[in-house]
Amino acid sequence: SAVISQKPSRDICQRGTSLTIQCQVDSQVTMMFWYRQQPGQSLTLIATANQGSEATYESGFVIDKFPISRPNLTFSTLTVSNMSPEDSSIYLCSAVVGAGNTEAFFGQGTRLTVV
Amino acid sequence: DAKTTQPTSMDCAEGRAANLPCNHSTISGNEYVYWYRQIHSQGPQYIIHGLKNNETNEMASLIITEDRKSSTLILPHATLRDTAVYYCIVRVAYGNTGKLIFGQGTTLQVKP
């Protein structure tokens, strides 16, 4: 299993600023992912955080808006850049331990409000 | 797009079995069926997964039809704490990135 800690748990930010969200896992994981959950909606995958290389983004998400780092096997950051009120969402980190048929674990999320 | 279809919402009486259906008619031979749930304001929680055989763990049972085009998650004795959004997801396990693509899920309301 894996325990995922996200910081901050919530924040209120001014439009036009950027926020970096940290994700720390208590064990080495093979894959890490970032999701967005807009109010009242399901989870949408933003990108796969690749260790030591550029993240793989899903359709509709770009690196300039959501830069992601993953310097090692247990840590990743997601930055929400040049924020607007439409970026108000819960951002969740997820990780997979091992390879193949294994479950994914999720953090408790970062609740972001942009004013 | 998500590959599964689930009812938007369901109700269940406390203490009774909750049966949550999921259709995945385009599932491939190497795709597993996973179930997660999300209790309000928390991250998704893994429940169970299976390929073609029925599976049971301490939380739930998963019944997959023989043609694998649909499945049912069974919570044998639902409690108020089982009130949540339940997501059925098909996922390639091996040789894949391991990512999960979420659909809209079923909101299960367990009532006293």
**Which SS3 state, helix, strand or coil, does residue A87 take?**
helix
| Cα–Cα distance measured from residue B102 to residue B16, given in angstroms and rounded to the nearest whole number | 27
- Report DSSP letters for B24-93, one per residue: -TT--TTEEEEEEEE-TTS--EEEEEESSS-EE-SS-EEEE-TTSSEEEEEETT--GGG-EEEEEEEEE-
The predicted structure's pLDDT at residue B78: 97
Q: pLDDT of A8-26, one tens digit each?
A: 999 999 999 999 999 999 9
B35 touches chain A (CB under 8 A): no
What's the gap in Å between the CA of B102 and the closest CA on chain A? 6
- Mean of pLDDT values over A39-48: 94
CB contact under 8 A, A101 and B93: yes
Residue B92 has pLDDT above 80, yes or no: no
Q: Which of B77, B73, B80 is nearest to B36 (CA)?
A: B73
What's the gap in Å between the CA of A1 and the closest CA on chain B? 11
Q: How many beta-carbon pairs below 8 A join chains A and B?
A: 52
A110 touches chain B (CB under 8 A): no
At residue A100 the predicted structure's pLDDT band, cuts being 50, 70 and 90, is low
Q: Which residue has the tokens 């509709």?
A: A60
**Count of residues making up chain B:** 112
Residues of B in contact with A109 (CB under 8 A): 42-43
| Cα–Cα distance measured from residue B2 to residue B31, given in angstroms and rounded to the nearest whole number | 13
